[in-house]
Structure 1
Amino acid sequence: MKILILEDEIPAFQKLVSFVKDYFNDEVGYDWARSNAEGKLFLESNAYDIILSDIQLLDGVSFDLYNEVNIDAPIIFCSAHDEYLFQAFNTNGIAYILKPYTQLDFKKALEKYQALFNKGDYNSLSTKHLQTLKLRYKKNITTIKQDL
C-alpha cells in the first residue's frame, strides 16, 4: 500500500504517520508533501492507494491541486477547518476528520476506506463508488439540516 500525505504542519504529519504505522503494522509506504506544488510532483509521478489530506497547505488549499491533477485515489481529509466539508465530497473524499482528531477517529476513517474497497483489495475509486458516496452524503446532510 502506498499513501500520499498532504500536511504542512510537522507535528500533524508526525501524528498521521504514527497512526498509519499503528493501523497497518508498519507495512505501508508513504510520500509527504507540504504544499500543492510538492503534491503535484508526487501525483504526476506516482500512483497512490489513498491520500491523507489537510486542506490548508503552505501555498493554498488542497482543492487547487485536486482541480489541477486527475486524482484516482480516495481522499481522507484531516483538517481543522469544517467550512470545506461540502467541497471535500465533490472530490474523491470518503471521510473528513476534524483536528484535533483521535486515533479512533482515524481508525474509523481507514475502516471506511477498507469497507469501500473490498476489505484490503485496494483498487482505485470507481466513478460508481464516488457517485454513490456523494448521493449518500447529500441525503445525510439534507436530513441533518431538516432536523435542525
Structure 2
Amino acid sequence: MNIIIIEDEKPSARRLQRMLQKLDLKTEVMLHSVEESIQWFQNNAHPDLIFLDIQLSDGLSFEIFEAINIKSAIIFTTAYDEYALKAFKLNSIDYLLKPIDEDELATAVQKYKARTPQTQGVTVDFNDIKKLLVNPIDRVYKKRFAVKVGQHLKLINIDDIECVYSENKGTYVYTTEGRNYLLDSTLDFLENELEPQTFFRINRKFYVNINAIKDMISYTNSRLQIKLKTYNEQEVIVARERVKDFKEWLE
C-alpha cells in the first residue's frame, strides 16, 4: 500500500509515521504545506491512501484538491471536532482527532482495507466541507446552563461565562463573578451547543468568550496567550494550529 502523510507539524507527522510502522505500514513521503503538496502531486504518482491534516501552515488542505484532481482515499487527521466532521461521516471518509489514538488509527486503516476497489477513492465534496468549516449550519445555541450547587440548581446565563475548560476529567465553566461550576457535558459535546461567534475553542482544553478577552500576547512557538478579564487560574494559550483561525474569528 502506497501511503503519504500531509501534516504541517513535523513532530506530529513523525509520530504518525511511527504509529503506522507498528501496523506494518510504510510511509515514504511526508508533505508539510499546500504548496509543497501541489508540487509533489504534479510530479508523482498518486498514493493509495493519504493521511491529511486540514489546517496546514499556508492554508486549508482542501486547496490541494482545488488545484489537483486526486482520487486517493483519505483519512483526515485533524484538531477540528466540529460541524465538518458530520460531512466526513456522511461521505464515508474516516477521520482521527488529534492526538491520534493507536487503536482508532488501526480501526481507520482496517476500514480502508475493507473497502471494495470501487469505493477506495475520494467521494467527498471538499467545497461543501470547506463551507461548513467557515459557515457552520444555522442552529439554536445554548442560552444558559443549569449547574448543581450542593442540593440546589443554579442557572448560569451564557453571557456570564468567561471560559469553559476541562481539568482532571471534568468540564467547568468560569463565570464573570469569579466562580467555577462543574458541568455534566464534555468539551466535545459542547461543540454543537456554544454559539461559534461568541465562543472559540483555542486548544483541546479551552473555550473562550470573545467578550471576556482583555489582552492577547505573542507567545512561544507562534502561539498566542489570552488574558481574560478575571480568570487567572492557569495560562490560556491558543494552540499554534488554531492561531490563524482564531485571528479570523476575532474579525
Shift of 1:80: 0.7
Q: Which runs of 4+ in 1 moved over 6 A?
A: none
Q: Does 1:113 find its partner at 2:109?
A: no
Structure with the greater alpha carbon radius of gyration: 2
Q: Which residue matches 2:42?
A: 44
The one-letter code sitting in structure 2 at the alignment partner of 1:42 is W
Q: CA deviation at 1:44?
A: 1.5
What residue in structure 2 maps to residue 15 of structure 1?
Answer: 15
Higher RCO structure, 1 or 2 (CA under 8 Å, sep 6+): 1
In 1, the alpha carbon distance for the partners of 2:31 and 2:63 equals 14
Query: For residues 96-142 of structure 1, what are the alpha-carbon distances to aligned partners after superposition, in whole Å with 9 as ceiling and x for unaligned?
Result: 11111211011011000000146xxxx9527xxx38xxxxxxxxxxx
**Structure 1 or 2: larger helix share?**
1
Counterpart residue number, 1:53: 52
Tell me the SS of whatever aligns to 1:51. strand
- Any stretches of 5+ residues in structure 1 without a counterpart? 132-148
Question: Aligned Cα RMSD in Å?
Answer: 2.6
Instruction: Note the C-alpha offset of 1:76.
Output: 0.2
In terms of fraction of residues, the more strand-rich structure is 2
- Give per-residue Cα distances to partners, 1:7-62, cap 9 Å, x unaligned: 01122101110111111x25x24211110011111212222010000111010010
The whole-number CA distance in structure 2 between the counterparts of 1:87 and 1:39 is 23
Q: Which consecutive unaligned segments of at least 5 residues does structure 2 have?
A: 125-251
The residue that corresponds to 1:6 in the other structure is 6
Quote the Cα distance in structure 1 between the aligned partners of 2:109 and 2:17: 13
The residue type paired with residue 52 of structure 1 is F
Residues of 2 paired with 1:93 and 1:67: CA distance? 20
Show CA shifts across 1:56-110 (max 9, x none). 10100101112221011000000111233245468x8720111112110110110
Q: Percent identity?
A: 33
- State the TM-score, normalizing by the size of structure 1: 0.71
